[in-house]
């Protein structure tokens, strides 16, 4: 980018051969007596000189809204250390299945919500500094438009990366402010030497770089929102610096924001079209489980819209099972396997359905079919063991349980069922060993009663009595 031959200032983009900046042109015209003494200089004012437009700045208003919302959320959960996801969703968090199914207002509300005390403290610190600088540079209404639009861009960026991520926080909009300031300092024309801006610009770049690296290395940080806000801010800041740098360019700024809003709307519509069926599934899955009838209705509607959508058939089968409707659930799982014969999820659920319906032979065949496709599936080996045990073939069940434990040593209930198989076979030492290993993964009254029975059969009454006492303690409700 060229510099002014008079003062050395960097000329704005698209100067098309200009060699003298507007400031120097006006200054020379003033020296020739061609303009009045009080004519305004065509330059952007110093970004750290705050205009006294009102007693309360817009940054303070945004700050206050975030604090009020955070305190408003706290009484519902009696904590300010962190809010559950479903609680944040009720308050307006950005969540793909909700946002892209018509609740567009979430792209605005989420940026005034925060997950915990540390989250809001850091974001408000950044907002106070960057917001004040941005507001003094652009003025109130331009600053407000940049903040809200970059927040929307951040929310859409989060959905692009992972449509099922629940997002809250002002950090996406804060990154948008940083992007707008970086573009302004790089492309804008100021009444001071560019060297005076270099320190502020360097600090902004360090802030952006550090937080992006931190976001990639730490879990629970939505870096996609940060990047979405940063890109939106860079674009807005560049467009304003190049085409509407002065306050009197309000019509141009309106046009820039209108075009940006149109572009963001296009992105939102494209995401809605791309994620249509999966998002409907995600939306239905968030319905209360204590009302499975609503889930059945939603999943049936989803399957009618796309009869070949395998996850929809599986979800409908689960909803039917919650209502105790075994026959339609079996039909949906079988349909899912017709559409996708390699669907592990459908086959495992069908095997469990057969087990719970006292059809161990059907369950055995189903799990064997899965193992023919995936011999290292621990759940399939466990299910096959349960099916064999239900047919009184404990010796074969033991081998399946051992294989499942080898494949997934931390899986619960397998050692317990292995112990039951040993116990039925009269192998009490191995039964006790299996029960004790299951105890390390998680204890229960049934496990302690089974252990007591094995101790009795082994002729160890003291250990049996201790196990029964522990079972009674586990069974009794907590005070």
Domain boundaries along the sequence of the chain: 1-42, 58-274, 423-479
- CB within 8 Å of 58: residues ≥ 6 apart: 131, 135, 140, 143, 144
The C-alpha atoms of residue 254 and residue 29 are separated, in whole angstroms, by 31
Reported as a single tens digit per residue, the pLDDT across 79-131 is: 545 666 677 878 889 988 788 877 899 999 999 999 888 889 999 999 998 99
Reported as a single tens digit per residue, the pLDDT across 233-246 is: 999 999 999 998 88
392 is catalytic: no
160: left (phi over 0), alpha (psi -120 to 50) or beta: alpha
The rounded percent of the chain whose pLDDT value lies above 70 is: 81
Q: 171, 313, 349, 381: which one is catalytic?
A: 171
Rg (C-alpha) for the chain, rounded Å, is 32
Measured torsion, CA atoms of residues 388, 394, 400, 402, in degrees rounded to the nearest 10: 160
226 is catalytic: yes
Question: What was the pLDDT predicted at 46?
Answer: 47
Q: Give me the residue label for tokens 């002729």.
A: 459
Question: What was the pLDDT predicted at 48?
Answer: 42
Question: What was the pLDDT predicted at 10?
Answer: 58
Reported as a single tens digit per residue, the pLDDT across 328-369 is: 999 999 999 999 999 999 999 999 999 999 999 999 999 999
**The two structure tokens encoding residue 474:** 């586990």
pLDDT over 60 at 15, yes or no = no
**113-127, 260-274, 302-316, 435-449: least confidently modelled range:** 302-316
Average pLDDT over residues 433-444: 92
Question: What was the pLDDT predicted at 249?
Answer: 86
The rounded percent of the chain whose pLDDT value lies above 90 is: 52
Helix ranges (DSSP H) in 78-222: 85-91, 96-99, 106-109, 117-138, 140-161, 171-187, 195-217
pLDDT over 80 at 25, yes or no = no
**The two structure tokens encoding residue 208:** 């952006």
Average pLDDT over residues 281-296: 59
Reported as a single tens digit per residue, the pLDDT across 367-426 is: 999 999 999 999 999 999 999 999 999 999 999 999 999 999 999 999 999 999 999 999
Reported as a single tens digit per residue, the pLDDT across 39-53 is: 655 544 444 444 444
Reported as a single tens digit per residue, the pLDDT across 49-67 is: 444 445 789 999 999 999 9
Confidence of residue 3 (pLDDT cuts 50, 70, 90): low
Confidence of residue 153 (pLDDT cuts 50, 70, 90): very high
The C-alpha atoms of residue 246 and residue 316 are separated, in whole angstroms, by 58
The C-alpha atoms of residue 341 and residue 215 are separated, in whole angstroms, by 40
Average pLDDT over residues 148-168: 90
Average pLDDT over residues 221-230: 92
**The two structure tokens encoding residue 316:** 């409908």
The C-alpha atoms of residue 164 and residue 96 are separated, in whole angstroms, by 6
Average pLDDT across the chain, whole number: 84
pLDDT over 80 at 28, yes or no = no
First-residue to last-residue Cα distance in the chain: 74
Fold of 58-274: Rhomboid-like fold (1.20.1540)
Helix ranges (DSSP H) in 244-306: 250-274, 276-285, 292-305
Q: 114, 119, 226, 381: which one is catalytic?
A: 226
pLDDT over 70 at 276, yes or no = no
Question: What was the pLDDT predicted at 214?
Answer: 82
The C-alpha atoms of residue 154 and residue 172 are separated, in whole angstroms, by 5
Confidence of residue 17 (pLDDT cuts 50, 70, 90): low
The C-alpha atoms of residue 69 and residue 90 are separated, in whole angstroms, by 13
């Amino acid at each position: 980018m060229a510099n002014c031959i008079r003062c050395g200032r960097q000329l704005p983009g698209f100067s098309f051969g200009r060699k003298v900046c507007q400031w120097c042109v006006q200054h020379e015209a003033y020296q020739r007596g061609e303009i009045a003494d009080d004519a305004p200089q065509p330059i952007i004012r110093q970004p750290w000189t705050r205009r006294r437009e009102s007693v309360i700045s817009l940054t303070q208003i945004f700050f206050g809204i975030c604090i009020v919302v955070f305190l408003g959320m706290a009484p519902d959960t009696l904590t300010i250390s962190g809010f559950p996801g479903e609680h944040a969703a009720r308050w307006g968090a950005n969540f793909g299945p909700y946002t892209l199914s018509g609740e567009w207002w979430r792209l605005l509300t989420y940026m005034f919500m925060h997950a915990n005390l540390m989250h809001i403290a850091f974001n408000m610190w950044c907002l106070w500094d960057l917001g004040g600088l941005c507001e003094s540079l652009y003025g109130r209404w331009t600053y407000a438009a940049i903040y809200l639009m970059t927040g929307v861009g951040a929310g859409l960026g989060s959905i692009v990366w992972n449509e099922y991520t629940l997002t809250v926080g002002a950090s996406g909009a804060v990154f948008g402010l940083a992007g707008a300031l970086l573009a302004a300092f790089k492309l804008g024309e100021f009444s001071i030497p560019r060297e005076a801006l270099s320190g502020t610009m360097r600090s902004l770049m360090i802030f952006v770089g550090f937080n992006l690296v931190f976001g990639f290395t730490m879990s629970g940080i939505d870096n996609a929102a940060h990047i979405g806000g940063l890109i939106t801010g860079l674009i807005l800041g560049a467009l304003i610096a190049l085409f509407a740098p002065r306050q009197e360019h309000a019509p141009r700024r309106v046009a820039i924001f209108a075009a940006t809003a149109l572009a963001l709307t296009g992105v939102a519509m494209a995401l809605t079209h791309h994620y249509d069926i999966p998002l409907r599934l995600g939306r239905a899955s968030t319905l209360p489980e204590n009302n499975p009838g609503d889930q059945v209705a939603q999943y049936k509607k989803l399957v009618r819209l796309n009869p070949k959508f395998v996850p929809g058939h599986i979800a409908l089968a689960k909803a039917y099972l919650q209502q105790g409707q075994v026959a339609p659930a079996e039909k949906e799982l079988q349909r899912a396997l017709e559409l996708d014969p390699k669907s592990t999820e459908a086959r495992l659920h069908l095997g469990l359905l057969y087990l719970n319906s006292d059809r161990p032979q059907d369950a055995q065949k189903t799990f064997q079919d899965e193992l023919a496709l995936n011999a290292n599936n621990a759940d399939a080996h466990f299910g096959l063991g349960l099916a064999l045990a239900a047919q009184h073939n404990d010796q074969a069940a033991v081998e399946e349980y051992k294989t499942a434990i080898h494949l997934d040593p931390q899986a619960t209930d397998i050692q317990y069922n292995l112990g039951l198989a040993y116990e039925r076979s009269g192998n009490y030492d191995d039964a006790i060993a299996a029960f004790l290993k299951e105890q390390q993964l998680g204890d229960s009254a049934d496990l302690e009663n089974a252990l007591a029975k094995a101790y009795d059969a082994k002729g160890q009454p003291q250990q049996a009595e201790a196990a029964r006492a522990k079972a009674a303690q586990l069974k009794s409700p907590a005070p």
